[in-house]
């Protein structure tokens, strides 16, 4: 969903989350997430790594940005466009970011 249209109190399905449409919701289901609350506390880098392993191909790193937008929204941050996470993702990857349980690191 477009982050500008997200209403936190109405988030009930995966596609109610910021930056999540049908395709991303399908990817989240592949990862075992059925509801938004299932994603709370997940690491977006680990989610991407697992998704690549499940599907057998390397997904665009921008998927990490989407996962970051979702996990941070679920942690209480305001909904933001996925591209607002790109710089932080690139910085973390350039520093050899290992997976972490804290998506804000």
Reading the chain (105 residues) residue by residue, the pLDDT tens digits are 999 999 999 999 999 999 999 999 999 999 999 999 999 999 999 999 999 999 999 999 999 999 999 999 999 999 999 999 999 999 999 887 654 443 443
Structure tokens at 61: 């790193």
Q: With respect to residue 16, please indicate whether it lies within any of the assigned structural domains.
A: yes
For the chain, how many structural domains are there in total?
A: 1
DSSP, collapsed to helix, strand or coil, labels residue 3 as helix
What DSSP letter does each residue of 61-75 carry, written as one string? THHHHHHHHHHHHHT
pTM equals 0.89
User: And the tokens for 18?
Assistant: 């910021």
| Domain containing residue 55 | 3-94
Within a domain: 58: yes
Identify the pLDDT of residue 95.
86
């Amino acid at each position: 969903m477009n982050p500008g249209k997200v209403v936190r109190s109405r988030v009930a399905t995966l596609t109610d989350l910021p930056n999540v449409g049908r395709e991303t919701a399908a990817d989240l289901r592949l990862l075992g997430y059925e509801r938004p609350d299932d994603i709370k506390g997940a690491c977006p880098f680990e989610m991407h790594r697992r998704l690549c392993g499940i599907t057998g191909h390397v997904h665009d790193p921008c998927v990490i940005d989407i996962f970051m937008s979702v996990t941070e929204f679920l942690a209480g941050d305001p909904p933001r466009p996925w591209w607002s996470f790109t710089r932080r993702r690139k910085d973390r990857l350039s520093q050899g970011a290992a997976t972490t349980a804290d998506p804000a690191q």
